[in-house]
Amino acid sequence: MLQVKEQLTCDVLIIGGGIAGLMAAVGAAEKGASVIVAEKADTRRSGSGATGNDHFLCYLPEYHGDNKKEIIQEMEESQIGGCCDPELFELFADLSGDQVREWHSWGIDMKPRGDWEFTGHAKPGRPRIFLKYAGHNQKAVLTREAKKRNVRILNHHLLNQILLNDEGQVAGAVCLDVTEDIPSVQIIACRSLIMCTGNTTRLYLPKTAGWMFNTANCPACTGVGRASAYRIGARLINLDMPHTHAGPKYFNRCGKATWIGVYKSMDGKPVGPFVKKPTRELGDITGDIWMEMFEMRRKAGEPVFMDCTETSPEDLEYMMWGLSNEGNTSTLDYMKEEGIDLRRHMIEFQQFEPILVGRGIEVDKKCASNVPGLYAAGEETGNFRGDIGGSATFGRLAGTCAAEYALKNRSQASPELKKLPVVQESLDFYEQLFTRADGTGHPGWKEANVALGQIMNDYAGLEVRSENMFKAGLIYLRRLREKTRNILACTNSHDFMRCLEVLDLMEVGELVMLCGRERRECRGKHVRVDFPFTNPLNNNKFLQIQKVSGEPVLTWRNKR
Amino acid sequence: MPPVINKEKCVGCGTCAQICPVDVIKFNKSLGMPEIRYPEECWHCNSCVLDCRQGAIRLRIPLPAQLLYVDVKSVRGE
């Protein structure tokens, strides 16, 4: 039996110490709440913002002027749009400027060239919405700011279950301490919990066979927030709408944001409608908002390249500086070692596998879910997406609101969580994972992850979606999940963590399939070969999924 | 093997093992040194390279993740 450590107690428990989680910690602590952050790795370098970023979505009145509406429209029509509630855009626009100024005061340089500068990800003739900043130190700074406010950070602690009290309110969580070779169980009692577990990688597999962790976003973010929230009755939203990134083909970590060039065919023809000549002001937004282009060109027999050979020397230097701030130093090191010279070489780009960024837990204007005491922020949320800017701004807001809720409920006695049936079941299951691993041929997590990924790629992927593909995929995935739960095994903390990750991913995968099947139309990257029409009756609607009496229930609601 | 540790330079401080976002590096207590235990799980994020005060780590990008590049003049027959 795994060792169960003494129960910890706090007002606000935050799961995930990425950008949203650390900002939530700051927000909650400033309200006077006692705060614990449970982080799977180490907050100094965890999550998709681990090594930096260089573009921060925001509305800054002193730069943009009073035309907030136009800026919001531009956000909706950028790569982050499509699944956001207008009321959250409005709120984000109102709060994001303060967040920029606060980060700058903490030592994350938000005007590294002396003044506010908005460049890249832009359409010609339209306002620019991404602030260029030097975020290479963002995780170290945010960790320091959280600690300054007496936030307790538990590194190498992952979440497995959220716990409810008899009234159905959040009462705590089961976390696993994976610091040592054999994990121990850490139960944490809390009055509110903020889910900040980021993206969902390794649900679909990248094209590089055998290299599941070769992903643009952090491959340790594997859907525990969505899965555990769903299990306690939280509504998830927009899982039916796939999203993808694009970037250098096969070297998926690179990302594409900061490149200053033009997407071109091999013979030098621009493939997108926006730019013919490279400029730092615009970049080439084709790869942000029309990623299908890569596959369309490939099927026409044409690889697509990022061509920086006509970029001015000043813009090229600016781009390399941006890549470094964005945390893409491994790309820069690699290009140097390999002798890649962007003045004469162009690099092939591709569309990456789908991820659930901004698809997940539904929140209101207080970042609260429908479950009392459960909040969410960052890429975890299903009805808003703002990347780093969104994670920072709504992370802080979630912290404030979750703390207010917790402090109001402080008089409530915290139950002895270890005795809850779900805790006992979980402990039994952990035990099984370890005792099965006795050399009798039980599979490990890798087999399970590959098996899941291939089903997702083929039956809920980008290429073909249809009623019967979802139907078959659901049968295969449910069978796989059941089998996996019964035979999966591990021998140490690392593999134990991966086992739990894969099981969460399987649960999320099933929900993706149920939602995809329900959306019987084409919309964005959700391409139903059996329903080729985009139904205008759905233009204002999002699809939700929630567990009711043990069964998934799908509902549509209007955008708000 | 993505991260490569130069054992001559490494002083065994353990920072790389603590901060790796994907648990690729483990600190071997009996040797007092970090080791690359799960190389195929590397994200190529460079955190270990950036945070090693001794400059003892470099990343070797695995062959499947190679960048695909062409010389513009030669492919366009210029």
Residues of chain A with pLDDT > 70, as a percent, come to: 99
Task: Give the start-to-end residue ranges of the domains of chain B.
Answer: 3-75
With a cut of 90, say whether residue A414 has pLDDT above it.
Answer: no
Distance CA B67, CA A24 (A): 37
Report DSSP letters for A7-27, one per residue. PEE-SEEEE--SHHHHHHHHH
Residue B77 near chain A (CB below 8 Å)? no
Please state, in angstroms and as integers, the Cα–Cα distance from residue A162 to each residue in A29, A411, A426, B69, following that order: 21, 21, 11, 47
Q: How close does chain A come to B78, measured CA to CA in Å?
A: 11
Beta strand A541-548 pairing with A246-248: unpaired
For chains A and B, CB pairs below 8 A equal 133
- Whether the per-residue pLDDT at A168 is higher than 90: the answer is yes
Query: How far apart (Å, rounded) are the C-alpha atoms in residues A477 and A59?
Result: 42
- The overall average pLDDT reported for chain A is 96
Contacts of A133 (CB under 8 A, 6+ apart): A53, A54, A55, A56, A100, A103, A108, A109, A110, A111, A112, A325
Name the residue type at position A224. Answer: V
A209 in contact with chain B, both atoms CB, cutoff 8 A: yes
CA-wise closest residue to A22 among A365, A394, A370, A504: A394
**pLDDT digits 0-9 by tens, B22-73:** 999 999 999 999 999 999 999 999 999 999 999 999 999 999 999 999 999 9
The answer to whether residue A510 scores a pLDDT higher than 80 is: yes
Interface contact A350, partner B, CB < 8 A: no
A330 vs B22, B46, B76: nearest CB: B46
pLDDT in tens, A272-294: 999 999 999 999 999 989 988 99
Whether residue A67 contacts residue A60, with contact meaning beta carbons closer than 8 Å, is answered with no
| Contacting residues of B for A335, CB less than 8 Å apart | 67
pLDDT of A410 > 90? The answer is no
Contacts with B, A 449-488, CB within 8 Å: none
Q: How confident is the model at residue A435 (pLDDT cuts 50, 70, 90)?
A: very high
Tell which residue, B22, B27, B19, B23, has the closest CA to residue B10: B27
The angle formed by the CA atoms of residues A165, A187 and B26, to the nearest 5 degrees, is: 150
Tokens of B40: 């195929």
Specify the pLDDT at position A441.
Answer: 86
Does A327 contact B at CB distance below 8 Å?
Answer: yes
Q: Are A236 and A546 in contact (CB under 8 A)?
A: yes
Q: Residue A181's closest chain B neighbor by CA?
A: B26
pLDDT band at A496 (very low <50, low <70, confident <90, very high): very high
d(CA A393, CA A60): 13
Residue A155 at interface with chain B, using a CB cutoff of 8 Å: yes
Q: Which chain B residues are Cβ-neighbours of A250 within 8 angstroms?
A: 64-68
- The ipTM is 0.97
| Chain B partners within 8 Å of A251 (Cβ) | 44, 61, 65-67
Nearest to A23 by CA among A190, A192, A105, A145: A145
Residues 6+ apart with CB under 8 A from A98: none
Flag whether pLDDT at A437 surpasses 90.
no
C-beta atoms of A41 and B19 within 8 A:
yes
In a 10 Å sphere around its CB, with 0-12 CB exposed, 13-18 middle and 19+ buried, how is residue A277 labelled? exposed
Query: How would residue B17 be classed by pLDDT, with cut points 50, 70 and 90?
Result: very high
Asked whether residue A152 carries a pLDDT value surpassing 70, the answer given is yes
Q: Is A270 exposed, middle or buried (0-12, 13-18, 19+ CB in 10 A)?
A: middle
- Of A74, A110, A102, give the one whose Cα is nearest residue A89: A74
> Does the pLDDT value for residue A71 go beyond 70?
yes
**Residue type (1 letter), A514:** L
Strand, helix or coil for residue A523 = strand
Residue A458 CA to residue A438 CA, distance in Å, equals: 33
One-character DSSP codes across A459-510: HSSSS-B-HHHHHHHHHHHHHHHHHHHHH---SSHHHHHHHHHHHHHHHHHH
Name chain A contacts of B58, Cβ cutoff 8 Å.
333
B44 touches chain A (CB under 8 A): yes
Buried b (16+ CB within 10 A) or exposed e, A210-239: ebbbbbbbbbbbbbbbbbbbbebbbbbbbb
What gap in Å lies between CA A346 and CA A338, rounded to an integer?
14
Cβ contact, residue pair A348, B21, below 8 Å:
no
* CA dist., res. B2 & res. A333, Å (int): 13
Q: Does residue A245 carry a pLDDT above 80? A: yes
Q: Which pLDDT does position B78 carry in this prediction?
A: 76
Whether residues A214 and B59 touch (CB distance < 8 A) is answered with no
The HSE-up count of residue A395 (CA atoms within 13 Å, CB side) is: 30
B65 with A252: Cβ contact below 8 A:
yes
- Token pair listed for A261: 């060039």
Q: Is the Cβ–Cβ distance between A547 and A231 less than 8 Å?
A: yes
Check A307 against B72: CB less than 8 A apart: yes
**How confident is the model over A386-405, as a mean pLDDT?**
98
Question: Stretch A383-406: mean pLDDT, rounded?
Answer: 98
CATH 3.10.150.10 fits B3-75, yes or no: no
A171-184: average pLDDT: 97
Q: How far apart are CA B62 and CA A334, in angstroms?
A: 11
Q: Quote the CA–CA distance of A417 and A264 in Å, as a whole number.
A: 58
pLDDT, mean of residues A410-425: 89
User: By the CB < 8 Å criterion, does B63 face chain A?
Assistant: no
Which of A24, A332, A60 shows the shortest CA–CA distance to A192?
Answer: A24
pLDDT of the residue at A413? 75
pLDDT per residue as tens digits for the range A539-553: 999 999 999 999 999
The pLDDT of residue A420: 95
Between CA A446 and CA A452 the distance in angstroms is 10
Cβ–Cβ < 8 Å for A195, A380: yes
Using the predicted structure, report yes or no on whether residue A484 has a pLDDT greater than 70: yes
Please give the Cα distance from A381 to A367 (Å, whole number): 9
What the block records as the tokens of A306 is 């990022």
Q: What is the spatial distance between Cα A366 and Cα A372, in angstroms, rounded to a whole number?
A: 12
CB contact under 8 A, A42 and B21: yes
**Residue of chain B whose Cα is closest to the Cα of A345:** B71
Q: Note whether B67 contacts A218, CB cutoff 8 Å.
A: no
Q: Is the pLDDT of residue B77 over 90?
A: no
Are the CB atoms for A223 and A198 separated by under 8 Å? no
Answer whether residue A439 shows pLDDT above 90: no
DSSP state of A54: S
Q: Report how far residue A449's alpha carbon sits from residue A432's, in angstroms, rounded to the nearest whole number.
A: 19
Q: A447-465 pLDDT, tens per residue?
A: 999 999 999 999 999 999 9
Predicted confidence (pLDDT) per residue in A189-231, tens digit: 999 999 999 999 999 999 998 899 999 999 999 999 999 999 9
Q: Do B44 and A305 touch (CB under 8 A)?
A: no
Q: Is A252 on the interface with B (CB under 8 A)?
A: yes
Using CA atoms in the order A243, A249, A250, A254, what is the torsion angle rounded to 10 degrees?
-70
Provide the pLDDT confidence category of residue A516 given band limits of 50, 70 and 90. very high
Q: Among A220, A305, A329, whose Cβ lies nearest the Cβ of B22?
A: A220
Nearest to B66 among A42, A218, A250 (CB): A250
